[in-house]
Every structure is written in C-alpha cells, then in structure tokens.
Structure 1
Amino acid sequence: MTNEELLQQLKFIQNMKCETQTLELKSAEKGCPTRLYDSLSSFSNQDSGGIIVFGVDEAQGYKEVGVYDAQDIQKKINEQCLQMEPVVRPILTVVEKDGMTFAAAEIPGVDLAERPCYYKGKGRLKGSYTRIGDSDEPMTEYEIYSYEAYRKKYQDDIREVKRASLQALDKTALEKYIILLKEGKPKLSVMDEQSIYELMSITRNHIVTLSSVLLFSLYPQAYFPQFCITAVVVPGKEIGEVDSDGARFTDNARIEGTIPEMLEEAISFVKRNMRKKTIINPATGKREDRTDYPVTAIREAILNALVHRDYSIHTEGMPIQILMFEDRMEIRNPGGIYGRMSIDQLGKVQADTRNPVLALALEVLGITENRYSGIPTIRREMKAYNLVPADFLDERGNFIVKFYKKSLEESVDDNDLIAFCHIPRSRKEICDFLAVKSVSYAIKRYVQPLIESGKIKMTIPDTPKSPKQKYFS
C-alpha cells in the first residue's frame, strides 16, 4: 500500500464509517493493541487477505486519533505476526495526516495448503479465526478439519464401515455393478471377485466401505441415520411461518435408502409440491405444462448434493435439506466448496472431487456423467425456463443452491439486491441476478446508488475498480 492509498483508505473510512470483510480498525492512540491474532488469523484465512488500519477509534464514531509511536507500533505488529502459524508477513505503511501519524498492515491470504493460520498461543483448535462480514469469528472444528481433509486428501467415501458386511449388501445390485465395471476392461475381467472388491474400493482391507453402504446396502441409514434427506414445504417465505390451520409444514418427509433411491424419491417429493401451469410454447405454438422450476435442474442439484456432500465423521449428524418456500426452493448439503474452487469458478473450471470413488461408481451405474456438467445444466435450464439464475452459496461448511420463481422480466427492487448481497457478490453474480448483460450498467444503475446510501459496501474499498471487487450489504 502506498502512502496515497492509505490516505484514500482513511478518507473512505470517514465517508462510510464502517469496517468491512477486508478492513479492520484499531485505535492505537495509547499503545499497540495486544490482541491482533484474531484479525491476523481471519485475514490470512481468506483469499483476499485484509488490511488493519491503526489510528481510527471506532468507539468514538470513527474519530481519527493517530497512533502513539509509528516506529514502536510497527515493531509490535511484527512481533505479534511472528506468533502466528504459519508466520504472517505483513506489509506495513505509515503516513502523516493533520499532524497525526497513521499505520496500516496489509495481511496477505496464505495458501490453501497452509491453512488454517492460527495463533500459536491458543493452538490450532482455539486460535483459528474466519472473517464473517466485519467480524472475526472462531473457526468451527469442522472448518479446521476441512482444510486438513483437502491438504491430506482424505477419502471419507471409502472409509471402512466395520459394522457392515458383504452379506448385508444387495447381492443383485452389487453383481450388476461388477458386470458394468468389467465392460471394456479385459484386465479387470480376469481378476477374481475379492481382488476386484479391493481394487475398486468396494471393500478396504476386506471391510465394506462407506461408498458400498451408500450404494448397495439394503438400508444404509441403519449405520448412518442422518445420511439422508429431510424435505419440507413451508407455507410462507421463512421457516416458522404457518398456514391458516397453524401448520408449520404443508408436506414433510424423511427420505432414506441408497443414493439412487434417495435421488428418485427426492425428485418425486419436489414434483408433488410444485405447481403446474399450462403455457403456449412460443417456438411450437403448442400447449404444454410447466412446473415452478425445471425438473432437470432440480435433479442435478439434488444429485450434486448426494455426490459431493461431506461424508466425514464430522457431518454424520447432518442430513441434506430440501426447503420449499412460497417464492423459492433451497437445497442444502453439509460440506462447503471443496479445495481451491471459488463460487465464481463453479461450472467454469474442473473442480477437485471430494468423493472420487463414489462419483465414479455413480458414473458406472449411469446415474451421473461425472463430467462437471451439473452447474452448467442448472444455469441453462433456468434460463430456458425464463427464471432468474440459481443462487450458489458457500456458508461456513454448507453448500446451498437456491432456485427462485422470479422470471427474468420481473424487476428487481433495492431490497431484493440488498438481500442478494448478504454475502459478498462479484460483478458477474450481480449481473446474473439482475439479468443484465452490461457489467458497467448494472453497477452504475443498481449498485452505485446503494453504495452512496450506505446500504451496500465494497470488500476492497481502496481500489473500487479491482477485478476482485465484491459488494455486500
């Protein structure tokens, strides 16, 4: 950060009077804050990193108070950075303004393979933080585990299930799978059955794997009761609303069985609870029935949840959820985006696969293509239905897909956009949500007025035109 950029940052703080996803304020009028590790950790654990500005007192209405000693504060900031694991290497800037001195520490995001960055004095479990809006929050045990799982390439889909046995599997379904596996594989075809089981992870050390239980067990939920789907229909727009009879749900189901069985039953549940209307197809001139949402898109979203959810011991108590509201539908699955993938990259680049053996098995069974086509299919189907794009969210260990009933022609008011930006959104995401092709027009027409009124903020306020800029409410 240059001196001029720090001065611009101070000007932004006085205009907006707030902290952001990438900006933290510290007074430091009478000394260096002794507890910087929460911000050092949270900024290091996000790709964009963050900036800590010293010399502004939030408690006094963001008053500029300056720092006590420019040289000493830089020394003490570095001392605290050395107490982090891995060590944080800040970029320090000092500037004078109106007879006062201000300092800033730019904290770079550490590589995913080195996360979480934590304070050694509290240890990895208690010293790891994540940035939520303008707040530093302790990481959950699962969030910490998810970094380790990616770094060490854990394969929870083939962990051993010692309670299960080959005799408890559906023999007919398993035999069909073996036949399909052998097709076009002459070397595999000459192997004996037990060798194929071990090689293809049906068993591991001669113990049935989790994938085998999920695909071929007569009743997988006997071993893992919450590896299921819970589906509800809410008579309103939020959980807790009730209908005229006081019922919280107008339909409510617990969907169990193997993955193929849960997929079909979940689709049936959604079909049963979607409205149908008859339209005239403008291309053919023929009458046809249309549901609230395209069934093909729904199938892809449910299948993605079943294939890519986290199956570790940390999520054994968490089912996949299908929530059908008056204006939208949400599909939630335990386990956020895996690996280095970001929301912006979904459907555009090849992703790391959390459950590779399970994904391959479903490909062999003809249930999924396993070609990373799910997200593009959802987007294409929603557009063909003339509906606003589906919303993909990664929220602290949960991946969420939201389908909206709103058509592309329906106008979006400020409250809709503010609600959409409850998590930071890129320019492209905002354009897709608004169904506007021009990025510059979308930002100028819809976003800029909300920034000026303080209802929407920028994640990188010091460089408004940054390609990594995002907007949040």
Structure 2
Amino acid sequence: MNEKELLEIIGKGESHMTEFKKSTTDITKDVYESICAFSNRDGGHVFLGVKDNGEIFGIEPNCIEKMKKDFVTAINNANKMYPPLFLTPVEHELQGRKVLHIYVPVGTQVSRCSGRIYDRNNESDIDITDNEELVYKLYARKQGTYFVNKVFPEWGMDVLRPDIIERARKMTRARSNNHPWLSMDDEELLRSAGLILLDHESRREGITLAAILLFGKDTTIMSALPQHKTDMIFRVQNLDRYDDRDVIVTNLLDSYDRMSEFAKKHLNDPFVLDGMQSVSARDAILREIISNSLAHRDYSSGYVAKMVIEKDRIFAENSNRTHGYGNLNLNTFEPFPKNPAISKVFREIGLADELGSGMRNTYKFTQLYSGGVPQFVEGDVFKTVIPLNETATMKSGPKSSDQVSDQVSDQVGSDAVVEKILEFCKTARTKKEISEHIGYKNLTYMTRTYIKPLLESGKLSYTIPEKPQSRLQKYMTKFNFKTKQ
C-alpha cells in the first residue's frame, strides 16, 4: 500500500478492522492479542508507532529491525500464536516518521494467542476463552462461513498430487528464500495453510475442499465438486458462437496456467512504460482477474465461471457470495475475503497479493493497456469488465479472400447494401437469408458491418429481443423507418 492509502486508513481512526499501537521500541503483548482478534473476526490493519488518537508518533529507527525480527519469530511460534500466522510487518515512512504496518487476513481456523481466544468488538479485543457460547459461535462461523472448509475425513493424502504441492512449495521462493514451507513435508504444509481441519460432526480430521481444489487429482475434484469448471472463450470474428474455446476442469494451479496461456494466445502485448520501466500490462491484468476468479469464486454454486475475450473488452464472471450489489468504487471499496484458505495459498506462492490490491492494480494497468476504466460489479455473479482497444486483439497477416471480396463490395456500394437489407427485411428474415440475399459469403463480417450498426441505429429490430443470440432469431425493418422509394 502507498503512503496516501495508509494515511486514509489511519485518518478514519480505530475500528473493528483498524488498531493503533504506540509501540516505539518493542512489541507489546497486546499487539498479538489484536492480531489474534482480527484473524478470528474480519481481518484488519495494525499500525505500530501510531497513538490511539491517530497521531503518528513513530518508531525509534534503531529498533525497527529488532522489532521486525521479534514479531516474525513470535507469530510463527505455535506456543505464542496457534495456528502460526505467516505475517510480515512492512516499514513505511509517514509524515517523516517510521511506522510498521501489519495486514492481518481473516483466518480459516480459530486463532489462539498464548492459549487464549480473542475476538474483535468495535475497537476492542475481547478474551472470549471462558465464554462457551461465544467460542462455539466462533467455531461454527469458521466452519460454516466458507464452503471450501468442508472436511473429507475419509480421504487421505493419496487423493492429492504431490507434484502440485511441490510446485507450490518451490513457488514460495518468489516471496522468500527462507519461506517456512520449504522445510515442511506435505502434511505439515497443508496444516500450516489451514487445509487440514477437524470435522465437528465426526470429530475426525481430514483434508478440506480447498486442499482438493488446489492440489487434488482431477478425478478427486470431480468426485468432490462435479460442478467445478471454467469456460474460456475467444469471440471476435464468429460473434454467434466463438473463434476458440477451452473448458478447464482441473486443479486451481493448472487452471491458472491454462487460463493465462489461453488469454495470452489471443491478446497482444504492446510496449508499455510504467514511469521509466517497460512492463507487460497485459500480463499484470490477466494475473489479477484470473487469480480473483479462482480464489474468490463461490464453489457451492453450479454457475459456470467464464472468461470471454471480445473485440472491445474482456469480461469474467463467477458465482459470488455477495456483500453488496452494484458497481464497486475504488475509493470506497472494502475487500471481504471469500475463500481465505485458497487466497492464503495464492498469496504465499505469488499468484495474488494483499486483499484489495488486485482492484487497484487492475485500474492502473488497464489505463496503461487500453486507456479505459475497468468495471467491477458485485452481485450473486461477480463480473469484471476490462475495456480493450483495437491493438489488443488485432491480428497481422493477409486477409481471407472472402473478407477482401466483402470489403471491396462494401466500399463500392455500402448505401445500396443497406437499402437492400432494409427492403428485404420488411418481412422478418434470418441472418443467413440476409447474407444470401445480398451475396455475402462471410457471415461474421456482414453481421459486424451491416446488421449490428442497423440494430444500434434502430433501423432493424430483433424478433426475439430478450434472446439476441437465439438460433431462432430473425431481423425486421422497423415500421417507422422508411426505405428510399
């Protein structure tokens, strides 16, 4: 996060997702209690070097490195924090003073600090260990809120792919050469990621649905979640169907690769400068929208997730456990984790960043890539729309003979063709009938050049307007539009 964003959070004061600690020379024990409470509730931000009233007091510069080291040691100590949390304090300079910012994602398991359970209530961290009702509700919330936390006690490690787990382990080097997963065996890695949980009905441990989605064999995934599928579509020439398609039914890491490869095959990667540095804006956009689709999808729904590349846009849709409706605003958007266990693994292996950063990055790189503004629409189906310009999907090379023939015909007598279509469609006609009547072989080009503009201008109308892509669709000249006599 940049300085402006951090100051905005601090400016709003302490809340159920923000905590200030004056800590200037060392980390006090109540810091860990706040982190435990955030993990158990909705996640949040902890700032060290900031007074309760929001005044930036600062940390002694010669104490920062020691505080970082002490924090990382404690947060990964099961006796201090269980399960261990892989969090890293980030140093920032705000108003000329040093502060440490710690972002705490919501946990998939109930966290304990020094054996005690804390929950967040407004601006306070409440010890609920001895309150059986509150503890029960907390466990129920952790187990029931996230569908991917479903436990399969009858399945063991043999239903997972060791090669995919090893791949994830190696990918953590992108974050740190000393990442804890590098020294763990497969089961320890799953436990540390919250992918092995206790089934409260059978009182037996087992791998979760999140583990199966991330690392499972294809047959296991289909058995546990038969509706799991991602549909990739490229539709630029053949607007009625598609030009290319890939239906992906596999684990999330391989799904990420196949989705990325499909999109890169069909999207150009023009030269882009971010300041003084050359970047691939295309790859940055794809990383964000693909990881968002996979990590935040509502896997309990049978809605088929899709990503469609068209001439002037990319749109991605996936089922969603909504926390609001309508277009999201970058300045007021508050991220809410949908599948924390999957998101955590994606962050650790470098396929995603801090919660909420994907939206900011997508705005930034869309501006660089196409000059447009992306849309994020929250609802039961979450939709992301990335505007494209002609450069993105333009292909080089010779045109087909049909295209050349159609374009020459268009240049010579486009007005005559329009008149011919409108006269012919005084009786409802199919697209094929129209193309045959005006002598066009390339149905897609004819649609893009004539049918679509006539529909948009109101000179033609659908006979089945509620289903524009219906195979029974016909087109008819509107009665209030008169052709030349």
Q: TM-score, normalised by structure 2?
A: 0.42
Structure having the higher Rg: 2
Q: TM-score, normalised by structure 1?
A: 0.43
Structure possessing the higher relative contact order (Cα contacts under 8 Å, 6 or more residues apart): 1
